[in-house]
Amino acid sequence: MAEQQSAQDKTEQATPKRREDAKDKGNVAKSQDLNSVVLLFAGIFGLSYSANEIIAVFKDLAMTVYNNSAGMLITQDTVSLYSAEFMKAYAAIVGPILVVLFFAALAVNYAQVGVMVAKKALVPKFEKINPAKGFKRMFSTRSLVELAKGVMKIGLVAYVGVSVIRSHIDEFWLLAFDTVPGTLTFLGTVLYSLTVKIGLLLIIIGVADFAYQKYDHNKNLKMTKQEVKEETKQYEGSAEVKGKIKQAQLAASRARMMSVVPDATVVVTNPTFIAIAIKYDPVSKADAPKVLAKGKRKLAQKIKEIARSNDIPIIENKALARGLYDYAQPGSEIPVFFYEAIAEILAEVYKMNKTKVPRAVA
């Protein structure tokens, strides 16, 4: 009763996460009937197109055995020789059909579920061998549906088989007067017709079964409104935690960047939108100027406040500020194509400080 009430409460479609979890467990909509009928037709196709080769192989094998049987002695060598011949014949007959069946099985499974690696389905579950649960599954709704499907398939197949046999019943009475090749040809024709008609019937059943499996799968994955709320809350909570971690990392990075602004030689601005803190040591001529910090809006204002409190020159150069913000990162040397503009800025800084202008950056 509780299960029925729970099933009635499941009115919401499954979320992508729930579907992904079910797929990881191997719980997907797939029709075994459709698999079987596709493999049946693949086998018929393989047999029909390799019939002449199969007959030729049998004929060659029979001729080999017949021609050598008169003087053949049963020894280890002859047994090995004829065993090898039989194995070759078996491989020549069965091999191509197995290849066709293999690719047919891949195709029909891919068409139903696509590419799927269900790792959780490989983990052994001991509850599956629990007799109590097994007995319960025997009388579940799904088992009763499968039983009804099986009975219906047997009935339909029997009806088609009887219909085909009845349509040829008069010809069966004449087989007593026919030749062996004629009899074999007739039986082959009847069997082929019987197989094709039963196969077509099973295709219809397989497609219908796949549609039902899809419906049943979606029905079983449905969720209650409370489950949807809890999953959404869990997902958003996870996203919120990640956002807070990222925000904390960004704040720490900005704090480190602000801590080195007092070491800057000059701050280049846009003038109010962008601020770039640059350091150049004229003593170490091997090093090019470096970007210590950069920022926009409030961060730019913070950089300028630190610069003013530490008597660091602030120079406006819109093009240079924009270029350095786009192409240079904090802690890295400025790109070569900014050397000339930076040299002019540094010359202006040293002029403001009434010091000797260092050699141009190169």
Q: Are 35 and 105 in contact (CB under 8 A)?
A: yes
Residue 254 pLDDT grade (very low, low, confident, very high; cuts 50, 70, 90): confident
pLDDT of the residue at 239: 59
- Regarding pTM above 0.75, the answer is no
Residue 329 pLDDT grade (very low, low, confident, very high; cuts 50, 70, 90): confident
Structure-token pair, residue 148: 């009804």
pLDDT exceeds 60 at position 5: no
Summarised one tens digit per residue, pLDDT across range 216-242 is 878 888 887 777 777 776 665 555 666
pLDDT of the residue at 70: 58
Summarised one tens digit per residue, pLDDT across range 97-126 is 888 888 888 888 877 777 666 555 555 555
Residue 2 pLDDT grade (very low, low, confident, very high; cuts 50, 70, 90): very low
pLDDT of the residue at 359: 43
Q: What is the average pLDDT value for the chain, to the nearest integer? A: 76
Phi-psi sector, 267: left (phi>0), alpha (psi -120 to 50), beta: beta
Summarised one tens digit per residue, pLDDT across range 136-192 is 666 667 677 778 877 888 888 888 888 888 888 888 777 777 777 778 788 878 888
Q: Are 273 and 296 in contact (CB under 8 A)?
A: yes
Q: What is the mean pLDDT of residues 307-312?
A: 86
pLDDT of the residue at 361: 42
How many Å separate Cα 107 from the centre of its chain?
Answer: 16
Q: What is the mean pLDDT of residues 283-308?
A: 81
Summarised one tens digit per residue, pLDDT across range 46-91 is 777 777 777 777 777 777 766 666 555 666 666 677 677 778 777 7
3-class secondary structure, 292: strand
Inter-axis angle of helices 141-167 and 180-221, nearest 10: 160
Long-range contacts of 197-201 (CB under 8 A, 24+ apart): 197/160, 197/164, 198/157, 198/160, 198/161, 199/37, 199/40, 199/41, 199/44, 201/156, 201/157, 201/160
Q: Which domains does the chain have, with CATH numbers?
A: 32-117 (no CATH), 136-222 (no CATH), 254-352 (3.40.1690.10)
